[in-house]
Amino acid sequence: MSQKGTLYSICISEKRGELKHPVQEAKVIENFGIENDGHAGDWDRQVTCLDAASVKKLSQDNNLELGPGQLAENLLIEGIDLKNIKPGQKIKIGNQVIIEIVHIGKEDHPSVVTKTFGVSLLPYEGLFCKVLKGGEIKPGNIVEVM
């Protein structure tokens, strides 16, 4: 049985080292990432995903009000426990886009997120993905673990 949830937000930053900001729609490009995002390119971190429930918990635990993109994620997903996702699994977003989980977490270094808020989630829970199939996405799209 597949897990289904909802795309809560899409966020980009034009350059690396900047906090991301929400956009109302995005073009996802096969084997590249999200158009106009500074982290898109030919590598294994084309798109990053976080669980909206984890962001909410981190916010509450640290008395912060974290909004979409402030933890450097591209996609904030509601309704799926992303902690159960494994590398190699695929996620479908909307009717077209398919991303594959390449790895979970990364080296924790003094990023713009930790310098700004003193906390981070991507090094521990972030899903780093490659784009297998591109297309258009927008908040509210169905997200399905394949």
Per-residue pLDDT tens over the stretch 69-88: 999 999 999 999 999 999 99
- pLDDT at position 85: 93
* In the predicted structure, residue 123 carries a pLDDT above the cut 80: no
Reported as a pLDDT band with limits 50, 70 and 90, residue 89 is very high
> Cβ(99)–Cβ(130) under 8 Å?
yes
pLDDT, one tens digit per residue, over 9-25 is 999 999 887 889 999 99
State phi, psi for 142 to the nearest 5 degrees.
Answer: -70, 135
Q: Kindly give, in sequence order, each residue whose CB lies less than 8 Å from that of residue 49, ignoring residues fewer than 6 positions away.
A: 73, 74, 75, 76, 77, 82, 91, 99, 126, 127, 129
pTM as predicted: 0.93
Average pLDDT, stretch 95-103?
Answer: 97
Which residue type, as a one-letter code, is found at position 134? G
User: Is the pLDDT assigned to residue 108 strictly greater than 90?
Assistant: no
Residue 1 banded pLDDT, cuts 50, 70, 90: low
Tokens 């780093």 map to which residue? 128
Tell me: pLDDT of 2 over 80: no
Q: pLDDT tens digits, residue range 35-66?
A: 999 999 999 899 999 999 999 999 999 999 99
Question: Distance (Å, rounded) from C-alpha 66 to C-alpha 2?
Answer: 29
- CATH numbers and ranges of domains, the chain: 4-145 (2.40.33.20)
